[in-house]
Every structure is written in structure tokens, then in C-alpha cells.
Amino acid sequence: MSLKIKNLKKVYADIQIFNDFNLEIEEEKITCILGVSGIGKTLLLNTITGITPADSADISDFSCKTFSYIFQEPRLLRWKTVYGNILFALKDFYSGKEARNICNKYIDIVGLTKFKNYYPAAISGGMEQRVSIARAFAYPSNILLMDEPFKSLDFRLKKNIISTFINLWDSDRRTVIFITHDIEEAAFIGDKIFILSNRLPVHIKKELNIDIPQKERGRDNKYILKIKKSLTENL
């Protein structure tokens, strides 16, 4: 099964960003969209969710889907604790007890049980992003959108959080659309990678499939090295 974006047209700030743009997203896989900065990657996600409506497009495959979103910044409510922030997204969908159990489960998975009652101001940026990831998985969504969520993290932290993400996704497979400009991230996370053109209006320059599971992708895995080389050449 796949979800299709057909004939997407969008003018943004007087620039034609998308003109008959087409994309096919495979369900329960991680689709990675790789492109340089300012090429309309975030805009693509926003047209899918409807935050910024497209000028015209056939995205009916997405119309009855629910989304969760891991943003570049954690986007937590500063007046709610780690626990409160996750509960915030669940309250309208689950009964009290159910919601509490789900909260605790995901806080535990991302390793923040000790910090459950901390306010965002009292935890680190990396921890905040973990909360944001936990919130996205705890929420009953069909599709998970990720907009460069690892961008502002340092190397070690990034590695750490990516593996938390992979573990979570492995136990709870959802359709993921992951946006990045980082070749390394794309090669470690994506099942399928679309490389966007460097020129506007955007089109897909190349697509690549990675057939080995995320957990087996080591830094010096020959296959991954080859993928990375190919991505570098095409970006």
C-alpha cells in the first residue's frame, strides 16, 4: 500500500516551489526526503498536513489520516512537565487511566522516567527532543512527520537519540516521512530515499531503496558506505 501526492502546485512568497510535483509514500516504511536547505522540504510537510494549503494537489490519500510531528525544535509547553506535555496530546483520545498508562510507557522508553515531573526549563535540549519524540509516538497517528529533528544536536547525542527513535519505530511501525539535508541521517534511517533537485520548482532527482534493517546499519557497513557515496554524488 502506498499514499500518493499528485500534481502538487504551490507558489510561496511569489516563487513557484512545486509545479506538478509527484511523490509516493510507502506505508509502514520510513521515507526519507533529502534536499538542500530552502528547497521547500518543510513546505511539503505543511501542505500534507494542511498547515499551509497547496494551491492545487491531489492528496486525498492523506485526507483521513492523523499525523504526529517531530519538529526541528521540541515545541513543548513550558508550563507543563515532561509527563504533562505528553498527556496534553493524548487527553482528547483516551480515558484518563489509559492516557496515563501510555504516557508512562513512552516516558520509560525514551529513558526519562526520572525526569517525568521536570519542567522543560530544567532539562537539556536533547531530553526535550526525546519528550517530543515520545509525544509523537504516544499519539495515535497513522503518519509520523519528521522535520530535521536531529539538526541542533551534537554528534553523540544525535547518535543516541536516533537509536532511541529506531527502537521505538521498530516496535511500533508507522508510516514515516522524514525530512533532512543530512546524508548520514538519511542513510541510517530511510527505507527509501528521495533526493530533491537543487533548483526550483522542485522535482525528484533520484530515488534509492535501502534493503537492510536500520538496526544492522553500521558506520562501516559496505552497503551503507555505497549508499552514502551515491547520495553525495546526487545531492
Residues that bind other proteins in the complex, under the rule CB under 8 A: 49, 51, 66-69, 71, 73, 75, 77-80, 88-89, 91-92, 119-122, 135, 139
Residue 56 contacts by C-beta under 8 Å, 6 or more apart in sequence? 7, 8, 9
Cα separation of 146 and 178, whole Å? 5
Cα separation of 83 and 106, whole Å? 10
Beta strands in 42-135 (DSSP E): 56-58, 67-70
Cα separation of 85 and 75, whole Å? 10
Q: Which three cell numbers stand for residue 52?
A: 499551509
Pairing of strands 2-12, 56-58: antiparallel
Q: Is 83 helix (H, G, I), strand (E, B) or coil?
A: helix
